Chain A
């Protein structure tokens, strides 16, 4: 009896064990991720490729670049800005004073984020040939990716010199690239922009905010000028149409280029797009479909918010002023800067000294508080809303005025001073600028050297704090156009370039040991 019971129980045990073992075999160890597709399963059609291209724009409008650190690196590396006061964070102060070290967070952010954009562009470019469902769209997407990759490498090569050149996405943890020569980097940029210009449509054929053929040609003009190829630059710039639906013209109102209601105007060639959701949000990092789409520029420079940077005395004194002997005071000073006594908030508020925290400026010998106006949205809002309000004002990257100024420089360098002056006078003739044409008493145009001075002046007052001065300084310094260097701290053989970020040196054995000189 007892033995029988034991047999019975043993049989039951055997059943339990077998059942468990079997149930586990069914729930196999070979699981697969129900939430994601993996890299080998994506970028197979033009819709997926579109998402890939969009992700490059996403990287570029993130805080590592255009919504924050990109305008900082360009402005801090120009002579157009000064510290707003003690509130300027240390790494920015460091860069402003020429003390950047390889750990500087501003240059690290910009380097990192451009390479994110490059990686994403490489993914699109590499996967595109296999996409066949819409070859026209595919080719346009590759054009956009190449335009954005070229912009990225141009920004990198101009700040850091020869940088590691990646043209395909890395596959293994050891796919390190060494620093390429500047020539190699420029060769890729030029090729990418030529390819892009050939396949991209003009602005009526594409979403606002996407790269166009004109954006590629304008960027190619910038790049070729930097390499000294003025003829090539001129040729590219002249491809930009000036008439018809796709043509570009100067707006009659200068401030249209810096306000939210007049984004994508007739002068605008390429913009990075921001939108204010009305919640004062800013994407301080991370990706999510509902993240804020704003830029913090309005916060950083705003006279009544953080006021981290203010116009340098050099910039404010560059504007022609009757007090210093000009025939007319340049109205662009008031379009570029606010000073105490100015009205804002649709004319309903008056800016006071006490509203502007921090440092004062000296303009024509007078000490007063001056702050930036370009891109600030307090033209239409007051306190307390403006106290913290990252805004939705698009960052204009290339506008037609810059194309004219570049053409002026190309013509002058190619020996056509008259053509150059003609382009400059088109800029001065804008309806609400209406500055007297060159030559003026202060700016004769009798020689190529005179015209160089006029171009340098005109570009500074027209493009003040629009993140082009930094690149201009690099080019003009090489040509020895400055009698005194724009940077008081400048040491030849060091300050032309920024240091390669420490994280790159630490983790890329092919770059380690190849820091820029002087760091």
Chain B
């Protein structure tokens, strides 16, 4: 027997480019190494000879017999077949070619290459998936798939992280290996009662066996700025506007503006007068060059038994406005161990801290609304006031906004979150075709919400004579037991059978503690020694027990058929209504495998798919015990005898029990086509679907005379339909020095409410006295898309008295007022003339990603857009609605007067007797936009040069500059056309002065050691 000898060599691809990360193993053993960044390897071979096996995903496996210590040159060939990616589906994975449902995937590489903080990185990446920004840093985006299927409940998809159904908290984008989105019901129904809004499966990185430990640093730092600002009145213009507005209505100059007051110093000790003050409240409120940064350090590697991936992450985003910021810090350890041929064991562990500093909309007026409304003649600060700020005196100034800089700085609202997630699993491989997996996972999260208002008084609208402290602590513990048995076998080379059976239970407990109190000093910021103490503690539990089965069969990889069923039992429903079954079935035909296609060389793949399935939305959105009406015990008090010491406790209830409550169920049909041309250089995936949701869980409004303040009672009534079309096109040039990749997404969805609790039922939302007088801004009725905008139609401006008297009766109208359309032709303009004036739902959405590399340079441009949606620009009511005196946009100076008739801004008249501000088409704007969402240029330092310069320490170094939201093309007049919703209600697409997205410029580096 020959002594051990050493073999070294270099592995390249067909273009002679070095291939790093190729696994080189000695056949029949567990010994092996991986190639380094230059494609080099060195391995010690025992005995006379050995067969070396070279493996790399995307390449054909190669075997080379070695008998002596020669220098090997191995060229690996691309494997178009194995390039068929593997797709993670519920409780297993499948080759892309065999998938029969609508499943879209994004690689972690695509996501991680972009300097974007969280899951919003998915925006524009998946046809049919909509991501809408919804506020300041740390506020989650609104994510919906294939339209809206529920009236009362959110559109959040189900997230499965490494097999664990839960939340995305703690998952850093840089740790993600792949994201697979189960879009249609035939795929998602395996998650049964939670599958309606689609399932997003996230797989985190694992490390490779037999590879050296690799250290990766991924880091960027950027600055953020406001993209756009409003044109607001300055002090001189404010005075002009005040007279136009109040003077016309015969209202005297507010005391402050009278010369004897206006020429007084802004505060005792200041030499500046109100008349000399000209505060730009936007400059005072918004911040310039707010920093954003993210840093990730990851280690990965492994030997024959164990592989691991571990990382530490830090993300910090400061707001582009005062008093807003968020950060998270996370660590992750993923490892698995092949203990024997039969048994392997693995675990994922993740701990995260989150912190958010957020703003609260006082009295529903957003900070930006107060920025618009603050009088320019008032200073931001007044050192004589407790707290140091200055506010208007509502009566003296004739106007009552609140100082937005004061609210942002004095009042401290924070969320401190901590989550810990652990997952352990064992796999038993009884045979190559039979596999058992057992998972036990724990997810624990706690959030401390702390609001603190100090003692302060700005001499006007805002003050607090005592410090107010509110401490709320919520925690949740979820446990998952999942037992999965998988069968996968091919019989006679033709019949492939795949089957999974699962038994799973997920239990959850949530605790909530609240403590509030007051302090008569600003020194003590806790409840120690506080007065007016109040405390509460509640908890709730729920349990979901499921049985799942799926059977797939394909014949020669040509004809595919799959069926699944899940039976869910959920504790939250009444006895007798706790269980429901969710079936699904799908078919696929790999046309390219047919003999008649063999001659058609240009078609590299072609598959037709069809599927049907039934899904639900998570019943726990209703709470843990929704079917019984609770007593609100001791919920309020009444001060009999005028005494706070001996308050009379009050208990009541407000609503009806409904023991028949059950899931919303959605039936979905999907037909799809996958096409690849010219060795899959050109790819296309197209889907058509229809989703119909029955048993819509509606809060059926009760008449106020029931005594529930109109609050509804939950019932399963109504139905809704979404129909749509999605297409993804790609062109991939993968050979040569200049490589590029173009991917385009297009999706279209049409939503319609089919039935509600009654034929004439109307579910209104969004009304707010400040934004149009209080009439609702949206209405959900049968035959229209959900929450369509609702209001009058503007028919021009009355130019003279004759026109007023010749038009349908419009109470309060005078020349210069808006003429509304008499929609019902009854000769009177009133609420009965309101109609549907647009939808926030786009006609279609689209995106285009272009990434290219040339030698050591690479570049990405990512366009993302929506088309055909409307925005209810409620903030423009604040800017130019002129109901009563506040600061406003400069447009109010162009108000109609007998000498300024060529305008679309009605007359300025305090009190707005004609209701010009009413919800109407006046405030509806196009929400279409096209954005250069991301743009990036990077440079990779040459590996050989790097290694030489760093004594082989550094294998890869890339630096890049990037920008997010660099350019936006839109006609929308507000700050940002991406508009979310208020408190998750039916107010999507209404701009109440939403925190706008910043434009970001970043500088980053990625290095591998």
Interface residues, chain A, CB within 8 Å of chain B? 5-6, 9-10, 13, 16-17, 20-21, 23-24, 27-39, 41-42, 48, 50-52, 54-55, 57-58, 61, 64, 83, 85-91, 93, 99, 101-103, 105, 108, 111-113, 115-120, 122-123, 163-164, 166, 169-173, 175-177, 207-210, 263-264, 273-275, 277-280, 284, 287-291, 293, 302, 304-307, 354-360, 383-384, 387-388, 392, 394, 501-504, 506-509, 511
Contacts and interface: CB of A to CB of B under 8 A. Distances in A.
A290 B703 CA distance: 29
Contact of B438 (A13, A24, A90): A13
A358 B578 CA distance: 62
Q: Quick one: which of A116, A302, A355 has the most chain B CB within 10 A?
A: A116
B899 to A, nearest CB: 23
A38 B260 CA distance: 63
Given A29-B578, A31-B624, A384-B460, A58 B910 contact: no
Contacts of B760: 506
Contacts of A99: 811-812
A277 B520 CA distance: 13
A511 B702 CA distance: 13
Nearest to B245: A86
Q: Quick one: which of A28, A99, A175, A503 has the most chain B CB within 10 A?
A: A503
Contacts of A17: 483, 503
A305 B395 contact: yes
B639 A27 contact: no
Interface stretch (B321-329, B628-636, B854-862, B936-944): B628-636
A287 B705 contact: no
Contacts of A10: 430
B278 interface: no
Given A21-B503, A173-B656, A307-B395, A120 B640 contact: no
Contact of A27 (B398, B464, B507, B631): B507
B631 A58 contact: no
Contacts of A20: 481, 483, 503, 505
B650 A58 contact: yes
29 contacts: A9-B430, A17-B483, A24-B505, A29-B543, A31-B542, A35-B538, A35-B540, A38-B629, A38-B631, A39-B631, A54-B637, A85-B910, A88-B911, A91-B773, A99-B812, A207-B641, A277-B532, A280-B464, A287-B635, A288-B534, A288-B635, A288-B636, A289-B647, A388-B460, A388-B462, A507-B701, A507-B703, A508-B703, A511-B703
B465 interface: yes
Interface size band for B: 35 or more
Q: Which 3 A-B pairs have the closest CB atoms?
A: A119-B707, A36-B630, A86-B910
Nearest to B396: A357
A24 B481 contact: yes
Contacts of B773: 90-91
B543 A31 contact: yes
Contacts of B255: 354-357
A279 B464 contact: yes
Given A58-B650, A278-B465, A508 B630 contact: no
A507 B811 contact: no
Given A51-B634, A116-B708, A29 B651 contact: no
Interface string B639-651: 1111110011111
A173 B702 contact: yes
A504 B703 contact: yes
Contact of A112 (B245, B507, B656, B709): B709
A9 B343 CA distance: 9
B669 to A, nearest CB: 31
A93 B775 CA distance: 15
B366 to A, nearest CB: 17
B704 A51 contact: no
A384 B462 CA distance: 11
A291 B532 CA distance: 10
B446 interface: no
Nearest to B395: A357
A445 to B, nearest CB: 40
A289 B538 contact: no
Contacts of B438: 13, 16
Interface in B571-629: 571-572, 575, 578, 624-625, 628-629
Contacts of B910: 85-86
Nearest to A10: B430
A445 B640 CA distance: 43
Contacts of A506: 701, 760, 762
B652 interface: yes
Nearest to A272: B638
Contact of A280 (B261, B463, B640, B648): B463
A33 B539 CA distance: 9
B485 to A, nearest CB: 8
A176 B636 CA distance: 28
Contacts of A58: 636-638, 650, 652
A24 B545 contact: yes
A304 B505 contact: no
B640 A16 contact: no
Given A41-B631, A172-B656, A354-B260, 19 more contacts: A5-B342, A23-B481, A29-B545, A33-B540, A38-B630, A38-B631, A42-B653, A54-B636, A55-B652, A112-B704, A115-B705, A166-B705, A166-B706, A166-B707, A171-B656, A279-B464, A305-B395, A384-B457, A388-B461
